[in-house]
Amino acid sequence: MTEIERIEDQLRRAFEGEAWHGPSIQELLADVTPVQAAARPLAQAHSIWEIVLHLAAWADVVRRRLEGESIDNPNEGDWPPVKEPSEAAWSKSLEWLKNNHAQLLQTVSRLPSSRLDEPLAGSKWSAYITLHGSIQHYLYHAGQIALLKSRDEGGHHEG
């Protein structure tokens, strides 16, 4: 297995499943309703929905940097706002995240190993550090989603 294939595997595990740490992003989001996604069980924390939009936006930035585009921040902003808390909008948000992840994986699969140590356009970080950072980013926010779900399911509403 090449280093690119190992990175791609870890990115997939963090997002889709079979992650060593516990539930992946998709596993955590599988049963989240629009009401639960928009809820703020912890007053000072982002909602699950905001986290989904944030992850989708940054997966797109990483893909675009890997493809040579110099981009500082997502077009939608670091934390895109939830515009319409509806079932259709929640489905669209989940689809945006899933599509951006799939496009990122596709780009990673085409990346030559020789580019791993090169700095990416619009970033001071190498492709290697950026890709491992993307895996860490998924896992960091997976933990937040798990915490928000447990707070919401436990009936602890602070906001």
pLDDT in tens, the chain (159 residues): 999 999 999 999 999 998 888 899 999 999 999 999 999 988 889 999 999 999 999 999 999 999 999 998 999 999 999 998 899 999 999 999 999 999 999 999 999 999 999 999 878 999 999 999 999 999 999 999 999 998 766 544 444
Question: Could you tell me if residue 33 is inside a domain?
Answer: yes
Whole-number Å distance between alpha carbons of 143 and 77: 22
Question: What's the total number of domains in the chain?
Answer: 1
Q: How far is residue 6 from each of residues 1, 3, 18, 52, 109, measured CA to CA in Å?
A: 7, 5, 14, 25, 10
Whole-number Å distance between alpha carbons of 99 and 102: 5
- Domain containing 19 — which CATH number? 1.20.120.450
What's the whole-model pTM score? 0.92
Question: Could you tell me if residue 41 is inside a domain?
Answer: yes
State the Cα angle at 108 between 95 and 21, rounded to 5°.
70
Question: Could you tell me if residue 83 is inside a domain?
Answer: yes
Question: Could you tell me if residue 100 is inside a domain?
Answer: yes
Question: Could you tell me if residue 158 is inside a domain?
Answer: no
Q: Residue 48 sits in which domain range?
A: 3-153
Question: Could you tell me if residue 60 is inside a domain?
Answer: yes
Whole-number Å distance between alpha carbons of 68 and 122: 9
